[in-house]
Structure 1
Amino acid sequence: MNRMHRRLCSSADWATKVADRMPRDLADVDLGDDVLEIGPGYGTTTRVLVDRVPRLTAVEVDEASATRLRVEFGDRIVHGDGTALPFEDGRFSAVVCFTMLHHVPSRALQDRLFAEARRVLRPGGVFRGVDSQLSLRFRLLHVGDTMVVVDPGTLPERLTTAGFAPGPQVEVMPDTRLRFTARRP
């Protein structure tokens, strides 16, 4: 992440914005009793989730970020890669990821992350994600950053190919965010 992007994602303003919109992002989904968050980054979404679910685990690919998050969240934070999750099959009731998919450096790795999310879900488990869509502001924020925007038109097929039940829900929100829900059969 470039300096401007890091500053935004670690700011109090961003934390307030996330805390305000996450209840809406999760209002229509039951996450169950054991939730995995992929890519907590600075922990803004984790701070909201930790009080909403009975058990939360978060996996962070960046070792320095994982170490920093462990200070606040303890052993809930695991240093690992969302494309090769260090968890057994069928462990979690839900997998979530918020505003991080565009940082996965290729479509093929995003697809691998989808398959891994499906693998670690219990039958009937839900995968809920939210990510940004392309805009001028978003593009400027990512100058020099990885930015592989998820195409909402191809996402349903990609999730089904990853092993989720046919007919995942994919919507582009009015604020140029993508929200999706997929279920493990």
Structure 2
Amino acid sequence: MGMNYFHQLLCRSSMWERTSATRIVPWALHGLDLGDQALEVGPGFGANVRTLRARVPALTGLEIDPALAARLRDRQSGRLRVIEGDGTAMPLPGNEFSSVVCFTMLHHVPSPAQQDDLFAEAFRVLRPGGVFAGSDGLDRLVFRLMHLGDTCVPVPPDTLMDRLTRAGFADIEIETGATMFRFRARRLS
């Protein structure tokens, strides 16, 4: 799940952290209660940690990249429990979290089948009543150009309802904005 140099610079910039903290996360999670224990899949450089900790008492980050996981441990110590692992095969017990979130990372999962595995894993690690929510970019020219040389498999929002339903989710809502979409879904039982 590589990122080109430009993309790496952007994702670790203070500008991106501000954008994520003030626009992306608040829009994606508007009106949602994350409960007492959230899991962020793919926290990357940690842009969302402070914003998420303001909403939830306990936060775990599942990061596939060992270097980013180590960086998160160094820089976010005390704010975030970091687990190194793959979102498509989470090294976590079932029914552990009140919420699972991911922001602008689904397109880095290398195939639709693996994205579906991630959805199934999010369902598995959620407690009954828990919410899976987040956002991702829309497949547009600028989005593709930013991802030249990256793993980039955009999620078509019009397929997401069926895909999340197959994973077991209910109460699914998907909303498309100008450059991204947000989603939320519940594990009922």
TM-score, normalised by the number of residues in structure 2: 0.93
The equivalent residue for 2:119 is 114
The equivalent residue for 1:8 is 10
The equivalent residue for 1:177 is 180
Return 5+ residue gaps in structure 1 as ranges.
none
Deviations 1:115-135 (A, max 9, x none): 000000000100001000112
Whole-angstrom distance in 1 between the partners of 2:18 and 2:127: 32
The list of structure 1 runs, each at least 4 consecutive aligned residues, that deviate by more than 4 angstroms after superposition, is none
Aligned residue among 43, 48, 51 for 1:45: 48
TM-score, normalised by the number of residues in structure 1: 0.95
Q: How does 1:120-159 map to 2 (within 5 A)?
A: 120-159=125-164
The equivalent residue for 2:98 is 93
Q: How does 1:10-49 map to 2 (within 5 A)?
A: 10-21=12-23, 22-49=25-52
Whole-angstrom distance in 2 between the partners of 1:47 and 1:112: 28
Cα offset, 1:27, TM superposition? 2.1
Q: Identity over aligned residues, as a percent?
A: 56
Whole-angstrom distance in 2 between the partners of 1:104 and 1:25: 19
**Is the aligned partner of 1:65 residue 2:68?**
yes
Amino acid at match of 1:141: M
The equivalent residue for 2:110 is 105
The equivalent residue for 1:80 is 85
8 Å Cα contact 2:131-2:184 kept in structure 1 = yes
Equivalent residue pairs, number: 183
Return 5+ residue gaps in structure 2 as ranges.
none
Whole-angstrom distance in 1 between the partners of 2:7 and 2:143: 10
User: What SS does the corresponding residue of 1:69 show, helix, strand or coil?
Assistant: helix
